[in-house]
Chain A
Amino acid sequence: MSKPKPKIKKEVVSMPKQDSKERSHNFSEVALGYTRQQAVAEAERCLQCVKAPCINGCPVDVDIPAFVNLVRERKFDEAIRKVKEKNSLPAICGRVCPQEEQCQASCTLGKVGDPVSVGRLERFLADWERERGYEIPRKSASRGRRVAIVGAGPAGLTAAADLAKLGYEVVIFEALHKPGGVLIYGIPEFRLPKKIVEAEAEYIEKLGVTIKMNAIIGRLYTINELLEQFDAVFVGTGAGLPRFMRIPGENLCGIYSANEFLIRVNLMKAYDFPKYATPIYVGEKVAVIGGGNSAMDSARCALRLGAKEVKIVYRRSRQEMPTRAEEVENAEEEGIKFKFLSNPVRYFGDERGWVKGMECIKMELGEPDESGRRRPIPIKGSEFIIDVDTVIVAIGNTANPLIQRTTEGLEVTRWGTIVVDEETGKTSKEGVYAGGDVVSGVATVISAMGAGKRAACSIHRHLLRKKRMQQRKGS
């Protein structure tokens, strides 16, 4: 007798969200997360494929079918333990990973309906654990070796967690006053509450990692000075240098880089000014230049800070936007407008030096460029003017240059990113490893974490080899 075929549930269990009208005026989290019942119902949709194509889509190799199955069995504590075998920042990843391009892209269920919401389940488990108190995993015995990590962003925190679990003494040097990197200064509260970043950073500290704040490597200590005190160094300084278009009028008042705007709002809590002392100015008509996550985040922050009209001006079309799909949807629901195939060419100011308008040019799409996306080409004579009083330039960032400028013998590309062996994260300098956006240029949180993991693994191998060699010499 053949077993009855289980019925495939094609539709995803939707996640409750704050009403769009209400949320466009506050900084509270938009997505509210699954309840237990919703999580179990969503987990029950998983087909438990033997080949598990989802795992190949995950840069840190989380055993997705296994943890989803544990959710289905309501064994939440075992499920989160399974996730954390590979991912030390699950509450963050569950919220900001572009799952639709990663694990969920290759989900078998996605071929007949909606893929399993891996991200939402991960988020559910992480929140479930955080509310109950973290379980601290067993660590290896101390190896008497020290590793320095530069930058407390996703790459650095992940490398630190893995190395600490392996028994290394790890010190993270962070230049800002809070750990998290882009998670704390870049991603807004309504998408990733700061208390979650703080909690996950605390978890990393509970693994025995020391995080030293206000410590800017390249000025306070050079990499060579760190190498005198540590057995290896991992550089995860990210891509924090904002790009500008170098067009006339770009330094007028009212024109911010996305970084400045987001640092003021997120890290310095300018949305709570004057209770928090850092100010922010947002006018009535805001234009955000760019089509990435920072553009979307800046636009939605501007709206919440009281702008009447927020437009995203992007030089390609909707299909090429490198943004997380859920956030484009959220932004549209909140009332953000899009102006595709347009690019600013210059800004106009008023007599006080404030921006009041921008001239844009229409674009058409040509052949694909190195990024695989169709290249935008300006259409001659198609210039038009948009009235604006605030502009946020969100056209991307380049690698932070301080370490590169102050470290002799560190090979760097012409874009300023650090050259590494992709498999190991090894740089041209002995004992120095690097990963995340400072190597790849702007990418995702999870790919930075993947790089942190690979580097941690090769630092471990490198130090074991070094130890064996020393022992051989000694005997």
Chain B
Amino acid sequence: MYRIVTKRELVPHINLFEFSAKEIAAKTKPGQFIILRVDEKGERVPLTMTGADPEKGTITVVCHEVGKSTRQLGQLKEGDCILDLLGPLGKPAEIEKFGTVLCIGGGVMVAPLYFQAKAFHETGNTVIGGIGARTENQLIFENEMREVCDELYVATDDGTRGYKGLGFLEGLLKERKIDRVITMGPVLMMKKVSELTRPYGVPTIVNLIPIMVDGMGMCGACRVTVGGRTMFACVDGPDFDGHQVDFEELMIRLKMFTPQEKLAFLFQEEGGRSL
């Protein structure tokens, strides 16, 4: 059993959890993820880590309530426990001194992006941040990102705050020498970022969490085509070269269980009585 040490609602339906998990905390590096299971009947849910505190023995994740399992997690309180916590999974992100690193995050993934931005900052890179959300009141981790970025651009899809969409990116790529781009967020956003950086030849790393079951290379559910080859995101990734990823295939595969997910959600709404 793994205890929730801290729970904080960042914005409605997006919560930060700090779990007591001493052994995992000691080994966690930016870019890695965990798989958790709330209870005996729960799914194995992969979540990219937002941080780890080896001294305190805790790891942090930020989770958006989008389906049955993430909502179930969202309903837990400080002091509650979850049944299983497996990690750290996946290869750690490549953190080196590249020069100027652009970290672009969207939605809930801004939180784990912060973990990488911080590491790049500590390694002596110039870190430019670009964070976004659908609308102004969905924006998370702005203050945290401001602390570790030399410059921070804020954007929203609907223009309620900062730039509208990825408008700021083109200008940056034209005017500045960017050595590396890291992007974490919705697949469509990562795809757009990769397309924008491609003509400039800037290495662009995307962090992919497709549908997964075991997270240790056994099931092959998370297969993605990268440079024409099939890779398993859980063990070969989760970071990949964004210019090589087949995003269309990934977006289709992510929707594979949508009807079932809706059914599970309804089942939960009904308190498990019907069906």
Residues of A within 8 A of B (CB): 175-177, 185, 213-216, 219-221, 240-242, 244, 246, 250-251, 253-254, 256-257, 259-260, 263-264, 268-269, 273-281, 352-353, 400-402
Instruction: Collect the chain A residues with CB atoms within 8 Å of residue B260's CB.
Output: 273-274, 279-281
Instruction: Collect the chain A residues with CB atoms within 8 Å of residue B23's CB.
Output: 215, 220-221
Q: Given A177-B86, A219-B27, A246-B230, do A281 and B256 touch, yes or no (CB 8 Å)?
A: yes
In the complex, are the beta carbons of B27 and A268 less than 8 A apart? no
In the complex, are the beta carbons of A257 and B41 less than 8 A apart? no
In the complex, are the beta carbons of B216 and A402 less than 8 A apart? yes
Q: Given A277-B41, A353-B252, do A259 and B219 touch, yes or no (CB 8 Å)?
A: yes
Does residue B243 face the partner (Cβ distance < 8 Å to A)? no
In the complex, are the beta carbons of A263 and B213 less than 8 A apart? yes
Q: Given A175-B86, A268-B44, A402-B235, do A279 and B218 touch, yes or no (CB 8 Å)?
A: no
In the complex, are the beta carbons of A277 and B69 less than 8 A apart? yes
Instruction: Collect the chain A residues with CB atoms within 8 Å of residue B219's CB.
Output: 242, 257, 259-260, 263-264
Instruction: Collect the chain A residues with CB atoms within 8 Å of residue B53's CB.
Output: none
Q: In the complex, what's the smallest C-beta–C-beta distance from A122 to chain B, in angstroms?
A: 29
Among B216, B225, B263, the one with the most A-chain Cβ atoms within 10 Å of its Cβ is: B216
In the complex, are the beta carbons of A274 and B218 less than 8 A apart? no
Q: In the complex, what's the smallest C-beta–C-beta distance from A117 to chain B, in angstroms?
A: 34
Contact among B43, B85, B89 with A278 in the assembled complex (CB-CB below 8 Å): B43
**A176 CA / B217 CA spacing, docked (Å):** 12
**A241 CA / B89 CA spacing, docked (Å):** 16
Known contacts A269-B41, A274-B68, A278-B213; can you find 8 more A-B pairs with CB under 8 A? A220-B24, A251-B223, A251-B230, A260-B221, A263-B214, A274-B267, A279-B257, A279-B261
**A413 CA / B104 CA spacing, docked (Å):** 41
Contact among B225, B264, B275 with A279 in the assembled complex (CB-CB below 8 Å): B264
**A250 CA / B220 CA spacing, docked (Å):** 11
Does residue B83 face the partner (Cβ distance < 8 Å to A)? yes
**A220 CA / B29 CA spacing, docked (Å):** 11
Q: Please, which residue of chain B has its CB at the minimum distance from the CB of A212?
A: B23
Q: Please, which residue of chain A has its CB at the minimum distance from the CB of B258?
A: A279
In the complex, are the beta carbons of B214 and A216 less than 8 A apart? no
- In this complex, how many residues of chain B approach chain A with their Cβ under 8 Å: the count is 44
Among A176, A177, A281, A402, the one with the most B-chain Cβ atoms within 10 Å of its Cβ is: A177
Q: In the complex, what's the smallest C-beta–C-beta distance from A231 to chain B, in angstroms?
A: 21
**A198 CA / B58 CA spacing, docked (Å):** 30
In the complex, are the beta carbons of A240 and B218 less than 8 A apart? yes
In the complex, are the beta carbons of A219 and B88 less than 8 A apart? yes
Nearest 3 CB-CB pairings of A with B: A279-B260, A353-B252, A260-B219
In the complex, are the beta carbons of B213 and A264 less than 8 A apart? yes
Q: How many A-B residue pairs have CB under 8 A?
A: 120
**A420 CA / B223 CA spacing, docked (Å):** 31
Mask of B171-213 contacts with A, CB within 8 angstroms, 1/0: 0000000000000000000000000000000000000000001
Q: Please, which residue of chain B has its CB at the minimum distance from the CB of A186?
A: B218
Mask of B233-275 contacts with A, CB within 8 angstroms, 1/0: 0010000000000000100110111001101100110001001
Q: Is the interface of A mostly helix, strand, loop or mixed?
A: loop
In the complex, are the beta carbons of A260 and B220 less than 8 A apart? yes
Q: Please, which residue of chain A has its CB at the minimum distance from the CB of B246?
A: A251
**A460 CA / B28 CA spacing, docked (Å):** 35
In the complex, are the beta carbons of B216 and A216 less than 8 A apart? yes
Does residue B84 face the partner (Cβ distance < 8 Å to A)? yes
Does residue B87 face the partner (Cβ distance < 8 Å to A)? yes
In the complex, are the beta carbons of A214 and B253 less than 8 A apart? no
In the complex, are the beta carbons of A257 and B220 less than 8 A apart? yes
Does residue B37 face the partner (Cβ distance < 8 Å to A)? yes
Instruction: Collect the chain B residues with CB atoms within 8 Å of residue A263's CB.
Output: 213-214, 218-219
**A251 CA / B210 CA spacing, docked (Å):** 13
Instruction: Collect the chain A residues with CB atoms within 8 Å of residue B249's CB.
Output: 251, 353
Q: In the complex, what's the smallest C-beta–C-beta distance from A399 to chain B, in angstroms?
A: 11
Does residue B167 face the partner (Cβ distance < 8 Å to A)? no
Instruction: Collect the chain B residues with CB atoms within 8 Å of residue A244's CB.
Output: 220, 223, 230
Instruction: Collect the chain B residues with CB atoms within 8 Å of residue A281's CB.
Output: 256-257, 260
Q: In the complex, what's the smallest C-beta–C-beta distance from A179 to chain B, in angstroms?
A: 13
Contact among A253, A257, A274 with B263 in the assembled complex (CB-CB below 8 Å): A274
Contact among B43, B44, B83, B218 with A241 in the assembled complex (CB-CB below 8 Å): B218
Task: Please name 29 pairs of A and B residues whose Cβ atoms are closer than 8 Å in the assembled complex, sorted by A.
Answer: A177-B83, A177-B84, A214-B86, A215-B23, A216-B216, A219-B88, A220-B23, A240-B218, A241-B217, A242-B219, A244-B220, A244-B223, A251-B223, A251-B253, A253-B253, A256-B220, A260-B220, A263-B213, A263-B218, A268-B213, A274-B260, A274-B263, A278-B43, A279-B263, A281-B260, A353-B249, A401-B235, A402-B216, A402-B217
Among B83, B86, B89, B267, the one with the most A-chain Cβ atoms within 10 Å of its Cβ is: B86
Q: In the complex, what's the smallest C-beta–C-beta distance from B252 to chain A, in angstroms?
A: 4
Q: In the complex, what's the smallest C-beta–C-beta distance from B154 to chain A, in angstroms?
A: 34
Q: In the complex, what's the smallest C-beta–C-beta distance from A216 to chain B, in angstroms?
A: 6
Instruction: Collect the chain A residues with CB atoms within 8 Å of residue B24's CB.
Output: 220
Instruction: Collect the chain B residues with CB atoms within 8 Å of residue A240's CB.
Output: 216-218
Does residue B42 face the partner (Cβ distance < 8 Å to A)? yes
**A67 CA / B104 CA spacing, docked (Å):** 68
Q: In the complex, what's the smallest C-beta–C-beta distance from A176 to chain B, in angstroms?
A: 7
In the complex, are the beta carbons of A253 and B252 less than 8 A apart? yes
**8 A Cβ contacts from B89-132 to A:** 89
In the complex, are the beta carbons of A216 and B89 less than 8 A apart? yes
Q: Please, which residue of chain B has its CB at the minimum distance from the CB of A405?
A: B235
Q: Please, which residue of chain A has its CB at the minimum distance from the CB of B89?
A: A219
Q: Please, which residue of chain B has its CB at the minimum distance from the CB of A400?
A: B217
Instruction: Collect the chain A residues with CB atoms within 8 Å of residue B264's CB.
Output: 273-274, 277, 279
Q: In the complex, what's the smallest C-beta–C-beta distance from B19 to chain A, in angstroms?
A: 12
Q: Given A242-B218, A277-B68, do A352 and B263 touch, yes or no (CB 8 Å)?
A: no
Q: Please, which residue of chain A has its CB at the minimum distance from the CB of B34?
A: A214
